[in-house]
Structure 1
Amino acid sequence: MPLPTEPIGSIPRPAELLDAAPSELAAAQEKAVRDTIRRLEELGSPVVTDGEQSKPSFATYPIAGLDGLAPDGAVIPFADGHRRQLPRLTAGPFRYAARAEEYLRVARRHANVPVKQAVIAPSALSLLYPADGIDGYPRERFLADLADEAEADIRGCLDGGAHVVQLDFTEGRLSLKLDPSGGVLDDFVALNNSVLERFTPEERARIGVHTCPGGDQDSTHSLDVDYAGLLPKLFQLKAGNFYLQLASEPDPDKTLAIAAEHLPADARIFVGVTDPVDPRVETAEQVRDRVLAAARHLPVDRLGTCDDCGFSPFADDVSTSRETAFAKIRARLEGTALASARLGV
């Protein structure tokens, strides 16, 4: 079989969706999902996503419209100077307002191939809890509630027929920028594992973790953080697949050597071969060469390809056009096929 290849998640929304009036939003979202899946299938993608056409963002979909939130939460600074800000939780108990299974159900209605579903890692949502606490709702209780909600989010997708469930863990690399000691990262890994350990080995084989230095408005939040501090701890997560940003990495061979050293038994690494932040569209030959470079470090039977990140993780991000995203995906698919042929798989 050729090397497996999967999208990460978000695709830029069409103008019709971005401009839709509230009364037209639901219909515009479903139309965009249908068009996204159709175009991915026409390109020959063996696995599709809904492109996150209906999510406000990859991170905040579970809390959209939730009561007990204030707007002045944790701030995420990007290299170009722009910022994203999370809400701040003001009261408990914490419950998801929406689950990823709802998006999966719509996608599967339109898909003819397996559907992958991205979910937000509980570690990201742990940032909602304020540093000074909440009266009557201690952090320990919040984390217990969060773990239960995250488990239900993942399990609902597995039970709902997802080909694989991907935990978005972009905050992993960012944590080392905010806390170079690694203490926050250790807490993130422990929290995520407290959820992942609730699944059987067979279920964890269908669960993956995506890491990247953030990608929003053609900028990143932690590309300057050395992967060497992240990867050994990342691979402690109890998951069967890891999706690794690599195309935009300044020293991919160094990263691959670290990944090879710490690769967990039976896990597969999907290496990023297209860079959504770079406006230039990769050629199939460039992708092929990136895959072959990865194969010099990693066992071919445990190798796959992906895009570095989603192309539009926040609904208002229009820095990358829809056409550019699909052109990059085409290059990933064609380049992976070329590499598969060269590798004899």
Structure 2
Amino acid sequence: MTMPTELIGSIPRPPELLAALRSGDAPGVRAAQEAAVRDTIARLEDAGSPVVTDGEQSKPSFVTYPLEGSEDLASDGVVIPFADGHQRQLPRLKAGPFRYRVHAEQYLRAARAAASVPVKQAVIAASALSLLYPADGIDGYPRERFLDDLVTEAEADIRGCLEAGAHVVQVDFTEARLSLKLDPSGGLLDDFIALNNRVLDRFSEDERARIGVHTCPGGDEDATHSLDVDYASLLPGLFRLRAGNFYLQLASEPDPERVLSVIAEHLPSAARVFVGVIDPISPVVESPIEVRDRVLAAARHLPADRLGTCDDCGFSPFADDTSTSRDLAFAKIRARVEGTALAAGELGLQA
């Protein structure tokens, strides 16, 4: 048996890519993105990562990549406030039918061409994109039709990655915890889970074993949007999602033992849970020993053969986030890989 370890997705962009993005020169941006993808994968492999991503170097953000180039959007969509006072704003859909302009498969194919180890691909959850639809509706395009179109597009995004050889597909559901801040009754979370299950139900059991769901309290410019929401209010609902893997923020949680007990109580019998052992927004690099101890703590609550490790969130999930350095991110990833191997050895597993 092995103990898998995976990063969540994004890596801070190198200075050359940031400069190209500021310049607005399209050929220069493409060249810088391609170079950044190659460098990211090479450095992940050098850090010993058994599974890699492209670091989302070519995405404008982990949320909005399907919308790049769309003319059916306005800029005044839902606002997401962060604890330090900064905000991110989603676009607003102006007209239907809703279609992805970009599918994640294109990022995956480029990454696989540069990688010598398995590649995972992150995609955005249908629930996040459901926030594009305005509260006052769109003439001639009712919300029900929008959701039907959205589910079809989200399925195609995942299926394209599976068919293109993704090791796993990770559905980013970071709005899950935020939904309980927006609606403490849990109604919005229930709607999100039902919508995402509409997508997951289009896949076979074997396919869902290669699909995972990631949740965290956000991690942008060294701030979160919902860390103050009780995890115990989220996890029972989250585990109703019909996915084979769950990637859960834990390293930055103030009471990880309590969270682990909730996970142990509600984790579906056939699912694997990847617990966060690295805090991406902390400036301190965790030691392999610290990572080992976090894994061993998790193994006291959860079966070791259904346990994996990950980072709490992506590093710099928005292209303009420069709060974390690239070198710091790779140092933390190396610590996760080495610490997981130490823990696996003590548990009689292979890393």
- Please tell me the TM-score bracket, short chain as reference: over 0.9
Q: Distance in 2 between matches of 1:52 and 1:68?
A: 24
**CA deviation vs aligned residue, 1:26-77 (integer Å, no higher than 9, x gap):** 1110100000000111111100000000000000000011111000000000
Runs (4+) off by over 4 Å: none
Q: Distance in 2 between matches of 1:178 and 1:112?
A: 43
Give, in whole Å, the separation in 1 of the partners of 2:61 and 2:98: 19
Equivalent in the alignment of 2:346: 342
Residues 248-300 of structure 1, C-alpha deviation per residue, up to 9 Å, x if partnerless? 00000110100000010110000000000111110000000000000000000
Q: Partners of 1:68 and 1:34 in 2: how far apart?
A: 33
**1:141: Cα distance to partner?**
0.3
What is the distance in 2 between the residues matched to 1:136 and 1:43?
Answer: 52
Equivalent residue, structure 1, for 2:9: 9
Letter in 1 for 2:172: D
Name the counterpart of 1:135: 139
Q: Distance in 1 between matches of 2:319 and 2:45?
A: 23
- SS of 1:313 mapped into structure 2: coil
Q: Which amino acid aligns with 1:2?
A: T
Contact in 2 for aligned 1:291/1:305 (Cα 8 Å)? yes
> Contact (CA 8 Å) 1:273, 1:287: kept in 2 or not?
yes
Aligned partners of 1:240 and 1:201: how far apart in 2? 8
- Which residue of 2 is the match for residue 19 of structure 1? 19
Gaps of 5+ in 1: none
Letter aligned with residue 316 of structure 1: D
Q: Check conservation: 2:299, 2:307, Cα contact below 8 A.
A: yes
Aligned residue runs from structure 1 range 38-187, under 5 A? 38-187=42-191
Q: Which amino acid aligns with 1:293?
A: A
8 A Cα contact 1:2 1:341, kept in partner:
no
Aligned partner of residue 210 in structure 1, secondary structure: strand
Letter in 1 for 2:156: A
> Partner of 2:316 in structure 1?
312
The DSSP-based 3-state class of the residue aligned with 2:37 is: helix
Choose the corresponding residue for 1:205, options 209, 218, 221.
209
CA distance in 2, matches of 1:215, 1:312: 7
In 1, are the aligned partners of 2:235 and 2:263 still within 8 Å (CA)? yes
**How far 1:2 moved relative to its partner?**
3.4
Paired residue type of 1:62:
P
Pairwise CA RMSD = 0.5
CA distance in 1: counterparts of 2:12 and 2:134, whole angstroms? 32
**Structure 2 CA distance for aligned equivalents of residues 44 and 280 of structure 1:** 20
- Three-state SS of the structure 2 residue aligned to 1:230 is helix
User: Letter of the aligned partner of 2:215 in structure 1?
Assistant: T
- 1:188 correspondence with 2:189: no
Alignment partners' CA distance in 1, 2:149 and 2:337: 40
Q: Quick check: 1:329 aligned with 2:333?
A: yes
Aligned 8 A contact 1:104 1:162 in 2: yes
TM-score, normalised to structure 2, is 0.98
Q: Deviations 1:148-171 (Å, cap 9, x if unpaired)?
A: 000000000000000000000000
Q: Give me the whole-angstrom Cα distance separating, in 2, the residues matched to 1:44 and 1:219.
A: 28
Name the aligned partner's letter for residue 103 of structure 2. Answer: R
Contact in 2 for aligned 1:2/1:337 (Cα 8 Å) = no
Per the alignment, residue 228 of structure 1 pairs with 232
CA contact (8 A) 2:2 2:305 kept: no
In 1: Cα distance, 2:291 partner to 2:137 partner: 47
- TM-score normalized with structure 1 length: 0.99
- Could you tell me how far apart the structure 2 residues matched to 1:71 and 1:101 are? 26
Provide the rounded CA distance (Å) in 2 between the counterparts of 1:327 and 1:2: 23
**In the alignment, does 2:260 pair up with 1:256?**
yes
